[in-house]
Structure 1
Amino acid sequence: MNLRQKLLGALAVQAFLAPIGLLGSAASAQQAKPATNEDIAVYQAMGTSFFCMAALDGVEFPKALGISASTYAQALKGRHEGQVASLQGKALTDKEMFAAAEQQVLVRAMAACPKAIPDDVQTKVKEALQKRQAES
């Protein structure tokens, strides 16, 4: 099992159990609600902030991005069981959650802290975004 999966699994358990401890009732945590657009925006901002702070403080780019994306993904998994309202409540797999989190954090970080992203990565992201816009 790789580091990302270990982090996601370990942190998701804590995030999932947190509502039980805060509310004192296991029943309240049994039925997870899909993440709203507002929830996703919070997780994106949180992941981007973590990434920028870590990367600008000297943490290696891949490690900073991995930890930030894992934090975002574990919040989605722990609080919403990977369900996203805009996907009609479809539950994403751990791999899908991490990949989406990584992409979203990276795109937001391009605007928030471009100095933290290597030039070659910025070029690839810009090319991918242009290609996506051309296909739309």
Structure 2
Amino acid sequence: MDTIFQSKKFLNLLNISLLFYLAICEINIFNKRLHANTKPQASQQDVFLYKQMGASYLCKSINDKIDFDFNKALAVSTYTFAEVIFSKHGNLIQEAGKEKLTPEKVLYIGEIEILNSAIKICPKQIPNDVKKSFQETLKKLKKQTNKKR
């Protein structure tokens, strides 16, 4: 019977010391924010890297040696760009502010960014009608941007 009494004392001391330790270390589960699900916004450097990778893939896939269909190669490049933005950055791009972009917007941004880079990297491999359409899209975007200001 004497040992039962001593083991209860020991457990009480253990509980007190555990509570003391938690209080000193300021561990408070209810006030801590969980950061496991937060994803950083894609910075300008991130977007630059992803668009350059997409443009590189596009240029390499439509060259004479591989001879992929341009539209399919552009689609693969664009969806790869968008998938990285979705999975790594949770549809957040720094330049868009705190707005969580829709998948359609990310795909649109990706296509424009990749085409812009591809036209600079491998202009001879980009079809003329695509270049012309791209220039018209840029003009429309500039007009929209100027109207917002």
TM (normalized to structure 1)?
A: 0.72
Aligned 1:70-85 pairs, distance under 5 A: 70-85=79-94
2:93 alignment partner AA: V
Instruction: For residue 30 of structure 1, give the secondary structure of its aligned residue in structure 2.
Output: coil
Aligned residues: 110
Query: For residues 1-56 of structure 1, what are the alpha-carbon distances to aligned partners after superposition, in whole Å with 9 as ceiling and x for unaligned?
Result: xxxxxxxxxxxxxxxxxxxxxxxxxx875210111111111111111111111111
Name which one, 1 or 2, has greater alpha-carbon Rg: 2
Cα deviations across residues 51-104 of structure 1 (Å, max 9, x unaligned)? 111111311010000000011110111100110112222111111111110111
Shift of 1:131: 4.7
What is the Cα-based RMSD across aligned positions, in Å?
Answer: 1.9
* Gap change, CA 1:131 and 1:98, over 3 Å in 2: closer
The corresponding residue for 1:39 is 46
Higher helix fraction (1 or 2): 1
SS in 1 for 2:62: helix
- Matched AA of 2:117: R
- Alpha-carbon separation, structure 1, partners of 2:48 and 2:98: 17
What residue in structure 1 maps to residue 28 of structure 2? none
Contact 1:61–1:116 at 8 Å: present in 2 too? no
| Percent identity of equivalent pairs | 28
> Letter of the aligned partner of 2:132 in structure 1?
T
- The whole-number CA distance in structure 1 between the counterparts of 2:143 and 2:71 is 28
Question: Which runs of no fewer than 5 residues in structure 1 stay unpaired?
Answer: 1-26
Matched, 1:87 2:96: yes
TM-score normalised to the size of structure 2?
Answer: 0.66
**In 2 relative to 1, CA 88–115 (structure 1 residues): closer, same or farther, beyond 3 Å?**
same
Change (3 A) 1:63 1:89: same
One-letter code aligned to 1:100: I
Structure with larger RCO (C-alpha < 8 A, sep 6+)? 1
Cα separation, 2, equivalents of 1:90 and 1:133: 21
